[in-house]
Amino acid sequence: MAFAQALGETRPEYTEPGPSLVGHPTFCVRYKGDRFYPESIPKTINVRSGFDAGKDIQLGAPVRPGDTIEVRSTLHEVYEKTGRTGSMYFVVIRFTMTNQRGEMLAVVDNRFMHR
């Protein structure tokens, strides 16, 4: 509820306790952390030294109070682009979140740019 309220959300399904309470859909981007980076990221690319280059979010079932959330990460894509200052490498890490019932809650493709 606090997350939704901090966003300025006013819809009661995100802000008021009760049987219809669900997690705000954008909360799924908070489920991950450094420990979820897959080992398959090329060692020459350090996502911690680059910057966040955007996210794509596919939402599934709503998160409900008491849900146990499992997060799996995979290296989805690595590609190169050339900009004004040279080569840039983009790494896309896919985070898939499911609940204890095996329902997909969200898939987040997180892009990082590295020089």
**H helix or E strand, kind and range, residue 59:** strand 51-59
Give this prediction's pTM: 0.78
- Contact criterion met (CB below 8 Å) for 86 and 109: no
Q: What is the DSSP letter of 18?
A: S
pLDDT for res 96: 93
Q: pLDDT (tens digit, 0 to 9) for every residue of the chain, 115 residues total?
A: 788 888 888 998 999 888 889 988 888 777 665 555 666 666 666 656 678 889 999 999 999 999 999 998 888 998 999 988 888 888 898 999 999 999 999 999 989 888 7
Pick 31-114's CATH classification: 3.10.129.10, 1.10.10.10, 3.30.160.150, 3.30.1490.20: 3.10.129.10
Q: What is the pLDDT of residue 26?
A: 84
- Give domain limits for the chain: 31-114
